[in-house]
Amino acid sequence: MLKVVLVGRPNVGKSTLFNRLVRSQKAIVNDQPGVTRDRKYGQGKLADLEFTLIDTAGIDDALKGRTEIKIKEQCQFAIDDANVILFVIDGREGVLPIEKSIAINLKKKNKPIIVLVNKSEGLKGLIGLSEAASLAFDIVIPISAEHGEGLPDLYDVLKNNLRNQNIKIKQDEFFFNLENAPIRVSIIGRPNTGKSTLVNNIIGENRLVTGSEAGITRDSIEIEWNYKKQTFCLIDTAGLRRKSKITKILEKHMVSDTLKSIKFSDICVLLVDASQNIDKQDLTIARMIIGEGRGIVIGANKWDKVTDQNTIKNKIINQLGISLSQIKNIPIVFLSGLHNKGIEKLFDKIIYVKKKLSNRITTGKLNRWLSTIIENNPPPLYKGRQNNIRYITQVNVKPPTFALFMSSPDDLPNSYKRFLLGSIMKTFDLQGVPIRIMFRKGNNPYVKK
């Protein structure tokens, strides 16, 4: 059976991941670093894969005591015993010097090494994700051990290692294939835009309480639904009012629950009332969704109430194009949740956006694009010196995220950064979804010096 070891410095979430993968609370978890001291073995399971998982103590070169030496020895035994090494780092803190030292030692083992950027949910996790390339490992996977994000990517890599080492995969009917995991879709919007009515008509039953008054929905409700052999997890959420109008504690909890739903969704359907003008709050919510890197589809609801549909349609398209210019061609579906019209178009757009969010572009294609861009439109000089752009690679999906290495990222004008972003969107057909480029100082990290 495949043996997989978790290594890293203290307090990066190794034990949390261990508990999730062995489906128990065998490892004690605490914010205090250094809780784990011995190596711990468990039966790890991911979908139809089974493997032996080994949790280890955090590696810290600053500790020189007798006990610490024995802890390091235990960790070394576990690494030698394993077939695959999962090198866990904290996405919110980035790559620390100790982790570069650990990386050098791990490379000497000549074993498959997977870098797991833990705590990568939300914007703060981008720090570690962008810096992970400096460790120069081929496989980097952003995860959240606490919330289970990133496990489908880990599943793919471990399955390949099982095949490469001719280890038989045990089929287990109790675990679903993570490749076909439900698409999590949150219905987001201001109060009384028809979110619960829409969900009720999608699933064909009065599952959610609805009414003409605003604020009926309080908790985020999750409902499974199937369309075109794809399972969806539909999440109805409480309406989001302007922050200045929120005074009651209950509503603050409702808003917090909705924001959490955005954070852990794949796609957010922003439901707006097409019979009214797009409100400033609608645009604020859209920017929150884009800021979290989630796919977005605009649902122009109550379309049956609109009389001059051509005029309103053009007005909505133009307003979104001007106010949300960071994403070109955001998908818009004109629908009526009450009369069950436009539902199929809505889910076709959701599937379309999900595929774009999961798009992976090879490093070769990216660097051929980069060479053409630099040749035809070189970056402007800074104080008479050339700002060399050296290398680009994709470091994440959902949303597509790229790391661009160059001599002086701080001196690259914002206008040129926007030009690069727009060119990637157009060249690789990523319009309509949020994408990110992280500008990093340095050479190509994969070139051996």
DSSP 25-92: --S---SSTT---S-EEEEEEETTEEEEEEE-PPP-TT--SHHHHHHHHHHHHHHHH-SEEEEEEETT
3-state secondary structure of 135: helix
Dist CA 267 CA 293 (whole Å): 9
Please give the pLDDT value at position 259.
77
Q: Which residues of the chain have pLDDT under 50?
A: 26-37, 167-179, 207-219, 246, 250-251, 449
Closest CA to 295 of 353, 359, 235, 230: 353
Query: What pLDDT sits at residue 448?
Result: 56
- Helix, strand, or coil (residue 301): strand
Q: Quick one: pLDDT at residue 205?
A: 63
Give residue-wise pLDDT tens across range 74-130.
Answer: 788 888 888 899 999 998 888 888 889 899 889 988 889 999 999 887 666 677 777
- CA atoms of 194 and 273, how far apart (whole Å): 8
Give pLDDT, residue 209: 38
d(CA 249, CA 197): 26
* Verdict on whether the full-model pTM lies above 0.85: no
d(CA 55, CA 5): 6
Residue 233, pLDDT score:
86
